[in-house]
Structure 1
């Protein structure tokens, strides 16, 4: 394969690598966001539990709202756990794809270097072969120097 085609393939691979890195950054940000949401829910549940354990007098309406919140919080935590697992799977896929792409780029770079060396060697051989013969005049005769 000629060096120009290999260079274009490397350029396309570089664009794909940039897209994968961007995707990986998005997955990492999503994982951090989910972890922060989970911590917020856990702290709310902990504060709610400490009120009950503290023996404070709570109005019935507040107790009902707290129970509803607790039920919704548990559902939200299970959704967050599922979203976290899905996001971690996507992140793992992205890391694997990035590693594979980088390996292909290294191979492509080696092929490009080899093709460039071959092209340079061919050009040098062609230049040496195409050198004009030098002519010199010795004692009135024209001689060709090869």
Structure 2
């Protein structure tokens, strides 16, 4: 394959690598956002639990709302856990694809280097063949000692 073809393939691989890096960055940001949401829910649940454990008198309306919030918070935590698992799987798949792509790019770059060296060698051989030929002077006059 010609070096230009290897260079084009490497350029396409570089563009795909950039795309994968962007995806990986988005997955990282999403995972961080999910973790922050999980921490907020855990903090609310802790505050709610501390309210019940403190032994203070709680109005019935507040207790009912707290129970509803607790139920919804547990459902939200379950949804977040599922979303985090899915996001981690996508992140892992993206990281694997990126590693494979980088390995392919290394191979492409090695082949490009080999193709460039081969092209240079062939060009040198062509240049050597194109030099004007100077035949050896087989029948030249020689000085003889007389």
Aligned equivalent of 1:130: 130
Query: Equivalent residues in 2 for 1:4-83 (5 A)?
Result: 4-83=4-83
CA distance in 2, matches of 1:133, 1:56: 109
Structure 1 or 2: more strand by fraction: 1
SS at match of 2:38: helix
Report the TM-score when normalising by structure 2.
0.90
CA distance in 1, matches of 2:89, 2:60: 43
SS at match of 1:56: coil
**Residue 133 of structure 1, CA deviation:** 4.2
Greater Cα offset, 16-25 or 124-133 = 124-133
Report the TM-score when normalising by structure 1.
0.90
**Residue 128 of structure 1, CA deviation:** 1.0
What RMSD over aligned residues (CA atoms) do the two structures have, in Å?
1.2
CA distance in 2, matches of 1:28, 1:15: 20
Q: Give unpaired runs (5+ residues) of structure 1.
A: 136-146
Question: Any runs of at least 4 consecutive aligned residues in structure 1 with deviations exceeding 2 A, and if so which?
Answer: 132-135
Q: Identify which of structures 1 and 2 has the higher relative contact order when contacts are C-alpha pairs closer than 8 Å and 6+ apart.
A: 2
Q: Give unpaired runs (5+ residues) of structure 2.
A: 136-146
**Residue 134 of structure 1, CA deviation:** 6.3
CA distance in 2, matches of 1:48, 1:56: 12
